[in-house]
A = this chain, B = another copy of it.
Amino acid sequence: MVFRFFPKTHNFFDLFEKQVSHAVEAACFFKEVVSRGCVTEDALSKMAAIEHQGDDVAHAIIDQLNKTFITPFDREDIYALAKELDDITDMVNNILTRLRVYDIRTVDKNLVEFSVVIEQSVRAVSRAIGGLRNHKNSQVVCDACIEVNRLENVGDAMRDRVLSELFANSKDPIAVIKWKDIYQDAETVLDVCEDVAHVVDSIMVKQA
């Protein structure tokens, strides 16, 4: 019998890569749906399924964390990563549900633009997570985190611009209520990606 001092710690990297792959899948599908314009029952079910899979991986990470004594990086960072990667998929799923609840049936070019930036940001998050496994990737990780931060600023400016336009042009208060929520949610996805990048950053600093 071999005593393993690092009991399957490599699993954390596998699990995080799996979890972020669901976030990427959610972001891609989100872009597809908002570019088509109408949120069907099928689209909602598919997104809910992706969200569910992401959830399962998050639970697997927390379970593994609770059972593991030695972890590849700080426990609170593992917990924060699992939680925030989960939040990305959740938030994207929430926006689809909201589009359905608000009965939005048109293609909105601002939302399409947001979905493009969201996909870019989640893909950068994926590169950052993928690079954590090996110290030789530190430049890749660093570049990916910088990109996530840049896209969060892009999203901030975009939200301010589209909200300014919305309030300046719309005479329909109900439409203002709806779109303010939707754009705000879209921007929040980019905030959550930035939170992930901050955690990754601090993992890198501690290991330097």
A: residues with CB less than 8 A from B are 62-63, 66-67, 97, 100-103, 160, 163-164, 167-168, 173-174, 176-178, 180, 202, 205-206
Which residues from B are CB-within-8-Å of A97? 160
Q: Which residue of A66, A67, A163, A173 has the most chain B CB atoms within 10 A of its CB atom? A: A66
Indicate if the CB atoms of A103 and B63 lie closer than 8 Å.
no
Question: Out of B176, B202, B205, which one reaches A177, CB within 8 Å?
Answer: B176
Bound CA span A173–B102, Å: 14
Contacts A/B (CB < 8 Å), 22 sampled: A63-B205, A66-B202, A66-B205, A66-B206, A67-B205, A97-B160, A100-B160, A100-B164, A101-B160, A101-B163, A101-B164, A102-B163, A103-B164, A167-B174, A167-B178, A173-B173, A173-B174, A173-B176, A173-B177, A174-B176, A177-B177, A177-B180
Complex CA gap A205/B67 in Å reads: 8
The one of B63, B67, B167, B206 that contacts A102, using a Cβ cutoff of 8 Å: B167
Q: Which residue of B lies closest to A163 (CB)?
A: B101
For the complex, give the distance between the alpha carbons of A205 and B168 in Å. 51
List the 7 closest pairs (A to B, CB-CB), nearest first.
A173-B173, A66-B205, A101-B164, A101-B163, A66-B206, A101-B160, A173-B174
- By a CB distance below 8 angstroms, the chain B residues around A164 are 100-101, 103
Option from B103, B160, B206 in Cβ contact (under 8 Å) with A167: B103
Are A101 and B167 in contact (CB-based, < 8 A)?
A: yes
Besides the contacts A62-B202, A102-B163, what 13 more A-B pairs have beta carbons closer than 8 Å? A67-B205, A100-B160, A101-B160, A101-B164, A101-B167, A102-B167, A103-B167, A103-B168, A167-B174, A167-B178, A173-B174, A174-B176, A177-B177
